[in-house]
Every structure is written in C-alpha cells, then in structure tokens.
C-alpha cells in the first residue's frame, strides 16, 4: 500500500486543523500505526528503539542521497548507552587505544550520575510514548514531514524531552565514537575535524596512519610518568 506523502507545510496546516495525530491517521494504514509488540532490549524496548532512531534521524537529517543522518552515524546508540547506566560516562585515555577503557566513577559522582540516568530514563520513556501518541500510535511509520511537524510542535512547546533529545542527538553525532555515535568518524570527517590534536603532528613517532597522527591524542612514547619531567 502506498502512503500519501505530506509536505512539511501540508502537515503543519493539517495539524492546525485537527492536531498532528489527526492529520497523520488519514495518511498511514492503521496496521502501521499500531506498531509491533514491545520487546525489552536494555533500557528501551524494541518499539522505543525504533521511535528513537526515527526521531534522531529527523533532528539531523540526511540532505540527500549519499548523505548521512544522525541515525546513520549511531546517535541513537549514543543515547541508549547513556541510558544504560554509569559505566560509560567518561572515556579513558590519554592515548587513543585507551579511550575505550571507561573510567570508574568516584562514589559521589556515581551517585549523582545514577540519579541523572534514572531521571533521563523517565524523560525518554514519557517522551517516546508522546511521539508515538502524537503520530497516532507509531512515530517511526509516519512520513518524514509529519515527523518534523510533531518534533516542531514539541520544540515550540518547550518540551523537556525535546531539549534532551536535541542535545543528546548532537552529542551523539559529534562526540568521539567510543561513546556510541559518530560512527567511523563520519561527522568529524564531514567538516575536516581531526580531534584533540597537538599544535603540531609527530610523524616521526610511529606510522603516518597512527591514531595520534590522524585523530590526535598522545603517542605512547610521549607519555611521562607522574613526577617525571618530559625531555
């Protein structure tokens, strides 16, 4: 069955007449709006994951064929990792190979982050349910212009959920890949960002393709033990 496409202008106009959900119901088959039976996977169910992925894809959409969206570079994975607990808050380091060794939080920071993660889980649970509700049951199934209209409505209303979704999507797109997003450094490569590089490169240390010569960070040979002065 072919869906009737809505332009952004049409979706907004229809939303003003009957509410966003009402505008969408006439464009999407009821069986799609009902969605799938929820299956729990980590902090979010399979249905919530689908809604989240669709939402981040509209926060940073692909500009056309061959371009990537926030979903394509894993921004939804970044958010899921954030909601999963306090084990992946601060990446390791200081050299690149150790970035994936996340730091163990001090007790007071662990308590604070545990509370924040719990709060964010509630924000996302309510917000993702709201997206589905405004879409007539399944946000991921409605056309992109209708998704944009729903997100715009939440933004205009000052939604706490939209604020969190927007900020976390951008974090997921542009943060270091060890946090779950920016897959294959695609966002950094898009505008020529090479990471936390030194003022000069060190091509004499390791190969030209060594991580510290491509995306910054310290080479193992540059590390100085605590209490020792660098040469």
pLDDT at residue number 89: 85
CA distance 215 to 12: 43
**Which residue(s) pair with 41 in the sheet?**
44
In a domain, 3, yes or no: no
| Side-chain half-sphere CA neighbours of 46 within 13 A | 5
pLDDT at residue number 131: 98
pLDDT at residue number 73: 97
189/160: higher pLDDT: 160
pLDDT at residue number 202: 59
Output the average pLDDT for the chain. Answer: 78
CA distance 115 to 124: 14
Residue 221 has pLDDT above 90, yes or no: no
Helix axes 46-59, 107-134, angle to 10 degrees: 90
The structure tokens 């332009």 sit at 7
pLDDT at residue number 189: 87
- Spell out the residues 6+ positions from residue 225 whose beta carbon is closer than 8 angstroms to its own: none
For residue 100, with 0-12 CB atoms within 10 Å meaning exposed, 13-18 middle and 19 or more buried, which class applies?
Answer: middle
In a domain, 29, yes or no: yes
In a domain, 225, yes or no: no
Pick from 6-10, 26-30, 147-151 the range whose average pLDDT is largest.
147-151
68/208: higher pLDDT: 68
In a domain, 2, yes or no: no
Q: Are 39 and 45 in contact (CB under 8 A)?
A: yes
The band of 208, judged by pLDDT with boundaries at 50, 70 and 90, is confident
CA distance 10 to 56: 22
Q: What is the pLDDT of residues 88-126, one digit of tens each?
A: 888 887 666 777 888 888 899 999 999 999 999 999 999
- Domain ranges, residue 64: 8-214
209/10: higher pLDDT: 209
CB neighbours of residue 22 within 10 Å = 13
When divided into structural domains, the chain yields a total of 1
The band of 192, judged by pLDDT with boundaries at 50, 70 and 90, is confident
In a domain, 1, yes or no: no
The b/e string for 117-155 (b: 16+ C-beta within 10 A; e otherwise) is: beebeebbbebbebbbebbbbbbbbbbebbbbbbbbbbe
Residue 177's closest CA among 62, 77, 57, 93? 77
CA distance 166 to 59: 7
In a domain, 61, yes or no: yes
In a domain, 43, yes or no: yes
H or E element in which residue 135 lies: none
In a domain, 77, yes or no: yes
CA distance 19 to 176: 39
Report the DSSP pairing between strands 44-45 and 40-41. Answer: antiparallel
Q: What is the pLDDT of residues 53-92, one digit of tens each?
A: 999 999 999 999 999 999 999 999 999 999 999 888 888 8
């Amino acid at each position: 069955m072919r869906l009737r496409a809505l332009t952004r202008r049409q979706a907004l106009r229809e939303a003003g007449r009957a509410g966003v959900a009402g505008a969408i119901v006439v464009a999407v088959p009821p069986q799609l709006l009902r969605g799938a039976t929820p299956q729990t996977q980590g902090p979010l169910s399979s249905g919530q994951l689908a809604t989240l992925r669709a939402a981040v894809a509209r926060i940073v959409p692909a500009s056309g064929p061959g371009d990537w969206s926030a979903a394509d570079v894993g921004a939804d994975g970044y958010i899921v990792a954030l909601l999963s607990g306090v084990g992946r808050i601060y990446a390791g380091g200081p050299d690149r190979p150790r970035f994936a060794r996340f730091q163990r939080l001090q007790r007071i920071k662990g308590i604070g982050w545990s509370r924040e993660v719990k709060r964010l889980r509630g924000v996302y649970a309510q917000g993702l349910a709201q997206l589905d509700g405004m879409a007539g049951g399944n946000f991921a199934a409605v056309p992109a212009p209708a998704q944009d209209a729903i997100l715009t409505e939440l933004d205009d209303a000052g939604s706490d959920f939209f604020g969190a979704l927007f900020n976390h999507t951008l974090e997921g797109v542009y943060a270091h890949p060890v946090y779950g997003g920016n897959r294959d450094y695609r966002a950094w490569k898009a505008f020529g960002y090479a990471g936390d590089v030194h003022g000069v490169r060190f091509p004499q240390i390791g190969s030209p393709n060594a991580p510290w010569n491509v995306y910054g960070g310290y080479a193992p040979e540059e590390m100085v033990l605590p209490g020792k002065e660098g040469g």
